Amino acid sequence: MQGIEGKLRTLIDAEAIAARVKELGAQITAAHQGQDVVVICVLKGSILFCADLVRQIDLPLTIEFLGLRSYEDGTETSGVVQITSDLTKPIEGKDVIVVEDIVDTGLTMQYLLENLETRRPRSVKLASLLHKPARTRVPVTIDYLGFTVDDVFVIGYGLDYAQRYRNLPFIGVLSP
């Protein structure tokens, strides 16, 4: 990949991601039988995960997109989150599955899950591809988790570094 040759190490390869996404899809399919499911794809980081995950869920569902911006305080999210692009439909009475790329401090998801609850959905579950438990500041329940990762900055499969590398088909770590 241009500009980062030699600095990029594969952490989770494409085959391992595909296998885990398939398992999560089967788990979600079994758990949400008979429900009126709305999948919320949190932009931009979860687009690839969400696109693959929905194809492994054998249920009638709709897909909504939600854009979030977390304000950074140095290198870390400050917990101040803004919705940059909101859902196009109400979720009242719906069974919502939020699809996120990574739960790091937990501040972003805490904000979003509290915000969604005010819209009176029937249920809200969280699917996150990655979790960095070493960085937890607020505990967030991840109902469907792909992988746990160490305290490293990961890129690829939707996750960016300065808006780039989202198109890598695997999850990698940039070494300094």
Q: Which spans of this chain sit near ligand 5GP (rule: CB under 6 A)?
A: 45, 70, 77, 100-108, 153-155, 159-160
Cβ atoms of 173 and 8 within 8 Å: the answer is yes
Question: Which residue in 13, 84, 24 sits closest to 54, CA to CA?
Answer: 24
Per the annotation, the verdict on 95 as an active-site residue is no
The secondary structure element, H or E, covering residue 40 is: strand 37-43
Report in angstroms how near the CB of residue 149 gets to ligand 5GP at its nearest.
7
Nearer to ligand 5GP, 59 or 168 (CB): 168
Residue identified by tokens 């995950």 is 53
Provide the sign of the torsion angle of the four alpha carbons 160, 162, 168, 172, taken in this order. Answer: negative
Nearer to ligand 5GP, 41 or 59 (CB): 41
In the bound state with ligand 5GP, the residue whose beta carbon lies nearer, of 66 and 96, is 66
Residue 17 CB, nearest approach to ligand 5GP (Å): 15
- Residue 154, token pair as written in the block: 């990961």
Minimum CB separation of residue 33 from ligand 5GP in Å reads: 29
**Start-end of H helices in 5-69:** 14-31, 47-54
Minimum distance from residue 116 beta carbon to ligand 5GP (Å): 15
Count Cβ atoms below 10 Å from residue 35 Cβ, excluding itself. 16
Pick 25 or 45: Cβ nearer ligand 5GP: 45
Given the residues 104, 150, 151, 160, the one annotated as active site: 104
In one-letter notation, the amino acid at residue 81 is: V
Look up residue 162 and give its two tokens: 């300065």
> Active-site positions?
104
